[in-house]
Amino acid sequence: MSENRQQDTSVQAVTPRRRLLTAAALVPLLAGAGASAACAGTPRRTGPHHPDRDQPDHQDGPHRIGHPDPLRPAPTKAADWSDVLKALGLPGSMVRDEYLHARAPRNDLHVVSYDVKVTSGLALGSHVAFVRYEDGSTLAMGDLTVTEGELQKVSDTLQARGIAQTALHKHLLAHSPDVWWIHVHAHGHDAVAIARGVRAALDRTGTPPVKPGRPPAKPPLDLDTRQLDATLGTKGSNDGGLYKAVFHRRETVIDDGMLMPRGLGASTAFNFQPLGGGKAAINGDFVMVAEEVQKVLKALRRGGISLVELHNHGLTEEPRLFFTHFWAVGDAVELAKALRSALDVTNVVPGGGGGGGDA
C-alpha cells in the first residue's frame, strides 16, 4: 500500500478539510495536541479494480478530530441478532460476519417512471443494517421508502424514537405515486430498542410483511451479463431478477468516532431492470468525495444518463461523502459503458453483486 501511495501522488487531490487536518498536525502548539500526529488520508486512485490493492487497509485513513482511536466493529453471527430481528419483524442476513442487513421491499407500491413499471428491487425497498462495536454499542443505518402521504407520520415516529434522519430525497425523477426516501441513523447500547423504533416507523407505512424462509426466486436475466461484467470490471449478481453490481470506497470511513465496515454507507450500486431485447432501466447511486463530484456528473451526462439527486447520506462521516442517484433506459451494455466512465474517476474497489450495497 505505501509503495502505491508513492507512485500515485501525482493524482492525489487533497480536500480542504484534509488540509486543515494536516495543518493542525503540523502546528501542535496551536492545536493543543502535544506531539501527536494526525493521520493522512489515503491517496485517491482511479479505476474500479486493481488486483494489487483490492483489500482496503482499515488501519489507514482519516480520523475525525477528537477521535484518534475510532471504535472498531466486533465480529458477530446471525444468532447474535435474533432479538433484533424479532423486534424488526424482518428476516436478515449477515455480511462478512461484520453486520446484519435486513430488507423490507415495497411490493405494495405500483410506481411508474417514464413508462417503466419500477420493481421493488430497482428502487422501491427499505433496508437497515446493524453493526456491533467493541464497546458493546450498536450502530444502525438504512433507508426507508415512503409515500408522500406517509412521510410526515414516519418522520414524527422516527423523531419520537430517537432515530435521526440524515437525508430526505428522491431516487427517481417523474413518477407516480410520489415516493420519498429517508436515511436513518441511530447509535446506542440497546439494539432492540433501535430495532423497535425502525419497526414503529415501518408500521406507519403500507410496507407488507416479509416472511422468513427461502430467498426469493431469481428469474433468468434477459441481459448479456458476461458483457456487463466485462464492461463494469466486476462480477454482478442476479438479485431477484435484476442485475446488480456494487463497488466500495477504498478509504477508511469513520462516522462520529466509529469505523465503518467496508462498504457500509459508502457504496456505489448499479441496478439493471431488464426490459427485453437487451434493454434495461438503470437506477442506483454513486458514492463520491468532493473532488470527484463534477467529474462523475459530467461523465454520466456525456453517456446520456439522467441525474436525479445530489446529496449526503450522513452528517459526520470522514471523508465527507456525496451521493448522486441516476436514471436511464436503453441498451444495457451501452449504459454500462457510460457508468464505467463515471466509475473510473472514483476511488472504489469492486464489492461484487450484493452485500452492503444498499446502505
The alpha-carbon radius of gyration of the chain (Å, integer) is 20
The one-letter amino acid at 318: E
**pLDDT exceeds 60 at position 31:** no
What pLDDT was estimated at residue 119?
94
Q: Using one digit for the tens of pLDDT, what is the confidence trace for 334-348?
A: 999 999 999 999 999
Neighbours of 136 (CB within 10 A): 9
pTM: 0.79
Region for 234 from its dihedrals, namely left if φ exceeds 0, alpha if ψ lies in -120 to 50, beta otherwise: beta
What pLDDT was estimated at residue 356?
47
Neighbours of 96 (CB within 10 A): 12
Nine-digit cell string for 247: 463497488
Region for 304 from its dihedrals, namely left if φ exceeds 0, alpha if ψ lies in -120 to 50, beta otherwise: left
Nine-digit cell string for 57: 487497509
b/e code 65-85 from CB counts within 10 Å (16+ = b): eebeebbebeebeeebbeebb
**Average pLDDT in the 92-103 region?**
94
Which ranges of the chain does DSSP label H, i.e. alpha helix? 2-7, 16-26, 28-31, 82-88, 120-123, 148-160, 191-202, 225-232, 290-302, 332-343
pLDDT category at 215 given cuts 50, 70, 90 is: low
d(CA 161, CA 159): 5
- Closest to 343 measured CA to CA, from 253, 228, 224: 228
Give the max Cα distance, the chain.
Answer: 66
Q: Using one digit for the tens of pLDDT, what is the confidence trace for 144-161?
A: 999 999 999 999 999 999
Residues 6+ apart with CB under 8 A from 265: 141, 253, 255, 313, 314, 317, 321, 359
Residues 6+ apart with CB under 8 A from 133: 71, 72, 73, 74, 139, 258
Q: Using one digit for the tens of pLDDT, what is the confidence trace for 121-132?
A: 999 999 999 999
**pLDDT exceeds 50 at position 358:** yes
What pLDDT was estimated at residue 25?
42
The one-letter amino acid at 259: L
**Average pLDDT in the 39-51 region?**
38
Q: Cell numbers 407500491 correspond to what residue?
A: 109
Omega of the bond leading into 319 within 30 degrees of 0 (cis): yes
What pLDDT was estimated at residue 144?
98
